[in-house]
Amino acid sequence: MTFHGAPFPCSKSPFAVLVFAWLGERVLVCDIEGRGWTVPSGRVEPGETPLAAAERELAEEGAARLESWTRIGCYRIGTGRAARWAECFAGRVTEMGQPAPGGESRAGRLVALDDLPSMYSLWNPLTEQVFRHSRASLPDRLA
């Protein structure tokens, strides 16, 4: 798996999206059944744009809204013709609630970057790099 920062062009049809939702120096992570603590993410539905999928996943899993959506790049998963792409977005949290009962998200919380290694479902140097890139990609006025 590799990450390519914007403006690197993602596939014309990414299969999934990830959302890095920041409030100051804390990022939203959700406790997703079967995945553990992760950023809101999921598949792009047929006919849906990547941004619309990101907005939907953020609402469903994180019960949140963002302002100033920024495309930060994409993950390439696999190689050659079998490669699949996941588009990544970041923004500033403007509203946050609790995920609906019965959904795949059990909870959402804002967490400092330093606390993620002990709780994030798949923490490694690449994951840390992408989190740092997502925060640095936000306009200064959103800091």
Q: How many domains are contained in the chain?
A: 1
More confident residue, 8 or 46: 46
- Full domain range(s) for residue 20: 2-142
76, 85 contact by CB (below 8 A): yes
User: What CATH number is attached to the domain comprising 127?
Assistant: 3.90.79.10
pLDDT score, position 70: 93
pLDDT score, position 134: 95
Q: What is the pLDDT of residues 70-81, one digit of tens each?
A: 999 999 888 888
Give the per-residue SS3 of 111-136.
EEHHHHHHCECCCCHHHHHHHHHHHH
Quick one: pLDDT band at residue 143, thresholds 50, 70, 90? very low
